[in-house]
Amino acid sequence: MTTQSEIRLRGPLRPSDLFSLEQYARQRADFRGRVLEHKKARTVAVGPNCTWLFEDRLTVQYQVQEMLRIERIFEPEGIQDELDAYNPLIPDGSNWKATLLIEFPDADERKAALARMRGVERRCFVQVEGFERVYAIADEDLERENEEKTSSVHWLRFELTPAMRSAVKAGARVSVGVEHPAYDHSVSLPEASVRSLARDLD
């Protein structure tokens, strides 16, 4: 069965775009496999301890479907609450949106690192070849940093100018990185990632 979410590639998800709990139970294995394959080009390691997942409509649908499944949510109000929480992660055509994960396996090391890395979410950047760096607008939904440490998860938005968007769609190289005294790393995106991200842009 094909849902509207597999046809409409842009705009916020609506309840009619989602699988029901029963439908999702039947299709979860195939759907999950497709999403994980899709995420490969959109997941980027930036240094040894930061992973960025560039979100789009499909990754957000998967998040919502999983939350509905785990919480057994089927009432319209509950479904809409999940959509309201996750729809802001879908790119708007002028931007890229990403989930930043800061990962340190050892708990003590993680605590110390998150204290050193306060403000790191605002020092994440993307750079289209030939243009200045664009720094993240971070955590617009809620504050994830306090006076002692930053969070291990952040939501990032990168607003691109029309010229930057045109360059990306024309195949310009793109690099992403973190410019922070406690964590300074950058990486050039592979062509497959740039092609995938270009589809987010008008």
Q: What is the pLDDT of residues 5-62, one digit of tens each?
A: 444 567 899 999 999 999 999 999 999 999 999 999 999 999 999 999 999 999 999 9
Q: How many domains does the chain have?
A: 2
Q: Are residues 182 and 101 in the same domain?
A: yes
Residue 135, pLDDT score: 98
Which phi and psi angles does 186 have, rounded to 5°?
Answer: -145, 160
The model's pTM: 0.90
CATH at residue 163: 2.60.40
Q: Rounded mean pLDDT of 113-137?
A: 97
Q: Are residues 14 and 103 in the same domain?
A: no
**Whole-number Å distance between alpha carbons of 123 and 80:** 33
Q: Are residues 164 and 174 in the same domain?
A: yes
Q: Are residues 21 and 69 in the same domain?
A: yes
Q: Are residues 68 and 153 in the same domain?
A: no
Q: Are residues 107 and 17 in the same domain?
A: no
Q: Which of 6, 5, 66, 56 shows the shortest CA–CA distance to 32?
A: 66
Q: Rounded mean pLDDT of 167-177?
A: 98
Q: Which domain holds residue 61?
A: 1-40+57-90
Contact 159, 136 (CB under 8 A): no
Which residue matches tokens 């080009």? 41
Q: Are residues 109 and 182 in the same domain?
A: yes
